[in-house]
Structure 1
Amino acid sequence: MKNIDTDVLIVGAGPVGLTLAMDLVSRGVKVTIVEIRDYAEPPNVKCNHVAARTMERFRRLGVAHKLRATGLPEDYPNDVVFRTSMTGTELSRIPIPGRGERYTSTDGPDTWWPTPEPPHRINQIYLEPVLLEHTAALEGVTLLNRTRLTSFTQGPEAIEATALDLDSESFRQIRCRYLVGCDGGSSSVRKAIGSKLEGTAVVQRVQSTYIRAPRLRSLLPGKPSWCYYSVNPRRCGTVFAIDGSQTWLVHNHLNPDEPDFESVDRDWSVRQILGVDADFEYEVISKEDWVGRRLVADRFRDRNVFIAGDASHLWVPYAGYGMNAGIADALNLSWLLAARLQGWGEESILDAYEAERQPITAQVSHFAMNHAAKMIKARSAVPANIEEPTPEGAAARDRIGREAYELNVEQYCCAGLNFGYYYTGSPIIVGDGESPPEYSMGGFTSSTVPGCRAPHFWLSDGRSLYDAFGAGYTLLRFDASLDIEGLQAAAASRRVPLRVLDLGGEKVPEAYKHKLVLCRDDQHVAWRSNVVPADPIALVDMLRGVKADRKP
């Protein structure tokens, strides 16, 4: 079989690996992907949510509109509803617009968000095929399905990898500059570089069943929802609408005293969660049982080999942030690898990946684990009379409904996890003494403190601010009288891509208090000031990874 020379070898063609490939190719990087599955083999039914930050990048990569066109029907509400069972009495509801109203609706706790691309509720069985088709059509991508990475060695100039074609049982040599393991929780790449997952191995167990039940929707009272929480003393669970008509994913959250997936009768549990009797017919399509964990790898890199996504972190998928955090890894790493491959980034620019992403994944995993603990407590405290048609039962339903809303609105409308996280301790971010504002799962404060996400706003010509960003760095200038020729010349002399946006006449958020704000390609602020740096070369060198020996 023909050997391959490539810039970056990606192991795994799930959403993280595909997004990394798309982003690298958009920067002129040649990519090869190895994937053990057949081409277009359906993924597992999981990952029901694409976050706003992820959709922002998909917009810039030209795939957001394709994703918006698939998933649940256009007019299907994305609400989250709490009921005594899926077909039982409604306790409360979190309103979330369906995709047909996603850009226009102002009704709901996530419709005010400062973003050009709101979240999109879509299961991975619809998401991944769109990403795969888009990626496979890009020039610069070589996709090898039914292929397993068997070994690799790192040399001074390149990585020499060996891959096995699972059909022909023949081996292929792949020579690459960088290798990225996006190969899931059991990652062979992570194991090969000696990285170990650390944390809490079991937070909760979930007996998950993918079913086909054509009659179920006709039994549902009131307005349909994307997500149904079932709250009763017998069984608490969650049901997600997959196609909006016949297929559903039923999560049966096992209690702490239920030690394994077979400790509770699956059919009985499904019926208690749905609120149907023994005569109700449904088909089990697949069993998707999973364990919620809080594990973060102790290292994300060994020289020119990196890990991303589930290969580097696993946690309870509250707030839908498992896949989305993995995609954030990919987007952080992509522009750093491109900087190095394009020649303007120094070798040490790659140090920023682990320095930035590892602390964030640790933070998010704790948010998710803490929320899981609250949910476990709530499920154990469901009052026995919650289904009773009495004043006491009505009072219990009212209380549980309010508590369920308050507890869960921050995970389903998680503005903090989308827009609040920031990078500190990075070698390529220039701090100015001000600390970034703290954030929670549900709340954040917009800020231009270096390391924060550049606050979004719409330009007067109708474009998103991010649509106007260039590759590498973008300098936002709010005072055109400032002479930035020295900074531009410094960037040009080091071949650092720098786009200047003059925004003096634009209506901007209050967070923009400085005349100059320098943003990275991944939308994080790298530097800000009211004056041009005294030593522009020192600033540019720091931004491209040169270890600073003088202040910019």
Structure 2
Amino acid sequence: MPLPHEAPVIIVGAGPVGLCLALDLAWRGVPSVVLERSPAGANETVRCNHVSSRTMETFRRLGFASQVRAVGLPDDYPNDVAVRTRATGRVLTRIPIPCRRDRFTVTDVPDGWWPTPEPPHRVNQIFFEPILLERAVVNPLITLRNDVEVSGFRESDDGVICEATCLRTGERLAYNGQYLVGCDGGGSTVRKAIGAVLEGDAVIQRVQSTYFRAPDLLGRISGDPAWMSYLYIGGRAGNLVAIDGKETWLLHNYLLPEEGGFEDVDRDYWLRALLGVDGSFEYDIIRQEDWIGRRLVANRLRSGRTFICGDAAHLWVPYAGYGMNAGIADAMNLSWLLAATVNGWASPAILDAYEAERHPITEQVSRYAMSHAQKAIAERLGIPAEIDDDGPEADAVRHRIGEEAYALHVQQFACAGLNFGYFYPHSPIIAYDAEQAPAYTMYDYTPSTVPGCRTPHFRLADGASLYDRMGPGYTLLVFQSETRIAPLVGAALQAGMPLTVLDLSGEQRPEAYRHDLLLSRPDGHVAWRGDTLPDDVSSLVARLCGHAQPALADAI
């Protein structure tokens, strides 16, 4: 076996989660090797259709949010969610979502106002993943190796050696790193190797999905088209997603509980029935994207120097777009912890925070998704056969179902709670106080500076985003200029902890900011707050850098 290639972090999997992890590590000065078994550019899946607000914030920080926002549906194509009897049938209700052209100007809709500089973007994975790949390929701190299959790895006290094979040549390879991260999907080799087990509900729903080309479909849709259309035809329900806004589409046919395998259900018959077209309608199948909705969470996210993120760590029904986006949230949590360790200003013990923070949130978000899925399944199974009949009785049925569908689905398409409401309540590197973080739902969010919560966004007097002024490490927000901060600045300097001081004394203080000082972490969560510094700032800094022992940390 040849001598190993070296990088501080080895990433297995070059999907959106693995690429985002590599890009963020590079932004923090940490090189990585990304190993991907597929050939370069081979990933053409259309499974993800939504980039969440938190993910767009990450893209903004990394410098390419505008590039991602520029791709996808045409500028004026409605991003609405419609509920119809058939794709070409009657509209029962409509959830308005601004098109790309109006994303930052239309605010009087449920999805029109977000407490962030980067609201979500409805765009398919085939459009934005190449942007991530292009960024990774040209980044000098990222080494991307395609056609490489990882077979195993072994750990030592000071690193990990990852064993792999080049699928093109059969050459045996070895990669040596300080840490290994599995971003290698639901069948994760890394997860299995560390003995982690997926636990939960193996089957919630089965979905026969067809990615197809039909240039004539758009012209057959009455009224304005929509980014996503729920299709209720009585005894059957589906979901149509516009991919390019012109001729390519993704149709989900939700299989009934008693139906057999994907190929046992007549794909062509039900595709035509859900679209509302006859046998003369022409279309071409590009790919079958069938999938099983699950609620499975790994019982551990780490073993020694090895971690798992994304689908390797959790699989759930992708309501609210929280499949890929939850994986990227994992990666952004882990990235700064790895960088802090590799760059030498934090203790390796800081890495304990990854599982302590992400596992409870993963479990909680998966249950939100499952609860919504169960309500949606019950809704679909209750659609009466007369849903598309003529007459006042059918009109009344459609009105009732439309109202119920709006109330149910607006939660996942304007999900501020899932984006911004989650918090870390039991972290070893957060200095908590006596106040509890506010509760949240999929939809509802209350900005809060309780330690562990997301640092609330606001605009500065000059119109700039708070987030654009914060540093890459810890940021100390100072709302009273006369507040004594020198001891904390000195302790951070002595510890090597990167700290940016942001003087906000001339700004109008938002309601959520009730303390004169706030320390925001590199990932944008509140680490500490107060009106004055604690007596022992060295202990606070030690905790933030992962050096504090539990007894000391709890005393802060």
Stretch deviating more after TM superposition (222-231 or 100-109): 100-109
User: Matches of residues 41-190 of structure 1 in structure 2 within 5 Å?
Assistant: 41-190=42-191
User: Matches of residues 196-211 of structure 1 in structure 2 within 5 Å?
Assistant: 196-211=197-212
Match of 1:339 in 2: 340
| Amino acid of the structure 1 residue aligned with 2:189 | S
- Matches of 1:271 and 1:98, distance apart in 2: 28
User: Contact between 1:96 and 1:107, CA under 8 Å: does it hold in 2?
Assistant: no
- Matches of 1:384 and 1:501, distance apart in 2: 61
Q: Unpaired runs of 5+ in structure 2?
A: none
- Matches of 1:218 and 1:161, distance apart in 2: 53
Match of 1:371 in 2: 372
How big is the shift at 1:39?
Answer: 1.3
Residue by residue, what CA displacement relative to the aligned partner does 1:319-346 show, whole Å, maximum 9, x if unpaired? 0000000000000000000010111111
User: Contact between 2:82 and 2:230, CA under 8 Å: does it hold in 1?
Assistant: yes
- Matches of 1:206 and 1:508, distance apart in 2: 48
Q: Give secondary structure in 2 for the equivalent of 1:435.
A: coil
Residue by residue, what CA displacement relative to the aligned partner does 1:203-262 show, whole Å, maximum 9, x if unpaired? 000010111111000000111110011012142100000010111000001112223213
User: Matches of residues 401-420 of structure 1 in structure 2 within 5 Å?
Assistant: 401-420=402-421
User: Contact between 2:479 and 2:509, CA under 8 Å: does it hold in 1?
Assistant: no
How big is the shift at 1:43?
Answer: 2.7
Match of 2:522 in 1: 521
Stretch deviating more after TM superposition (482-491 or 459-468): 459-468
User: Matches of residues 393-542 of structure 1 in structure 2 within 5 Å?
Assistant: 393-542=394-543
How big is the shift at 1:460?
Answer: 2.1
User: Contact between 1:150 and 1:163, CA under 8 Å: does it hold in 2?
Assistant: yes
User: Contact between 2:98 and 2:111, CA under 8 Å: does it hold in 1?
Assistant: no
| Amino acid of the structure 2 residue aligned with 1:67 | V
- Matches of 1:472 and 1:519, distance apart in 2: 9
Q: Give secondary structure in 2 for the equivalent of 1:120.
A: coil
- Matches of 1:107 and 1:77, distance apart in 2: 15
How big is the shift at 1:98?
Answer: 1.3
| Amino acid of the structure 2 residue aligned with 1:277 | D
Residue by residue, what CA displacement relative to the aligned partner does 1:35-71 show, whole Å, maximum 9, x if unpaired? 0111112331111000001100110001111101111
User: Contact between 1:208 and 1:290, CA under 8 Å: does it hold in 2?
Assistant: yes
Stretch deviating more after TM superposition (436-445 or 500-509): 500-509
Q: Give secondary structure in 1 for the equivalent of 2:385.
A: coil
Match of 2:11 in 1: 10
Q: Which consecutive segments of 4 or more residues in structure 1 shift more than 6 A?
A: none
- Matches of 2:510 and 2:275, distance apart in 1: 46
- Matches of 2:498 and 2:301, distance apart in 1: 27
- Matches of 2:324 and 2:510, distance apart in 1: 30
User: Matches of residues 323-362 of structure 1 in structure 2 within 5 Å?
Assistant: 323-362=324-363
Residue by residue, what CA displacement relative to the aligned partner does 1:292-316 show, whole Å, maximum 9, x if unpaired? 0000000000010000000000000
Q: Give secondary structure in 2 for the equivalent of 1:526.
A: strand
Q: Unpaired runs of 5+ in structure 1?
A: none
User: Matches of residues 194-233 of structure 1 in structure 2 within 5 Å?
Assistant: 194-233=195-234
Q: Give secondary structure in 1 for the equivalent of 2:300.
A: coil
| Amino acid of the structure 1 residue aligned with 2:316 | W
- Matches of 1:508 and 1:134, distance apart in 2: 37
- Matches of 1:270 and 1:487, distance apart in 2: 63
User: Matches of residues 203-352 of structure 1 in structure 2 within 5 Å?
Assistant: 203-352=204-353
Alignment partner of 1:28 is 2:56: no
How big is the shift at 1:291?
Answer: 0.2
- Sequence identity, in percent? 55
- Matches of 1:501 and 1:547, distance apart in 2: 26
Q: Give secondary structure in 1 for the equivalent of 2:7.
A: strand
User: Contact between 1:226 and 1:241, CA under 8 Å: does it hold in 2?
Assistant: yes
How big is the shift at 1:367?
Answer: 0.5
- Matches of 2:47 and 2:305, distance apart in 1: 31
Q: Give secondary structure in 2 for the equivalent of 1:295.
A: strand
User: Contact between 1:255 and 1:376, CA under 8 Å: does it hold in 2?
Assistant: no
TM-score (norm 1): 0.99
- Matches of 1:461 and 1:12, distance apart in 2: 41
Match of 2:41 in 1: 40
- Matches of 2:100 and 2:508, distance apart in 1: 28
User: Contact between 1:348 and 1:547, CA under 8 Å: does it hold in 2?
Assistant: no
* Root mean square deviation, CA, Å: 1.0
How big is the shift at 1:135?
Answer: 1.3
- Matches of 1:243 and 1:235, distance apart in 2: 26
| Amino acid of the structure 2 residue aligned with 1:28 | G
| Amino acid of the structure 2 residue aligned with 1:434 | E
Alignment partner of 1:385 is 2:382: no
- Matches of 1:348 and 1:225, distance apart in 2: 48
Residue by residue, what CA displacement relative to the aligned partner does 1:58-97 show, whole Å, maximum 9, x if unpaired? 1000111110111111111100000100110001000101
Residue by residue, what CA displacement relative to the aligned partner does 1:257-310 show, whole Å, maximum 9, x if unpaired? 223213421111111111111111111111110000000000000010000000
How big is the shift at 1:2?
Answer: 6.6
Match of 1:545 in 2: 546
- Matches of 1:202 and 1:507, distance apart in 2: 50
- Matches of 2:355 and 2:260, distance apart in 1: 35
- Matches of 1:323 and 1:107, distance apart in 2: 28
Stretch deviating more after TM superposition (86-95 or 230-239): 230-239
Q: Give secondary structure in 2 for the equivalent of 1:33.
A: strand
- Matches of 1:371 and 1:314, distance apart in 2: 15
- Matches of 2:4 and 2:344, distance apart in 1: 25
User: Contact between 1:352 and 1:426, CA under 8 Å: does it hold in 2?
Assistant: yes
Stretch deviating more after TM superposition (34-43 or 20-29): 34-43
How big is the shift at 1:372?
Answer: 0.8
Q: Give secondary structure in 2 for the equivalent of 1:262.
A: helix
Q: Give secondary structure in 2 for the equivalent of 1:164.
A: strand
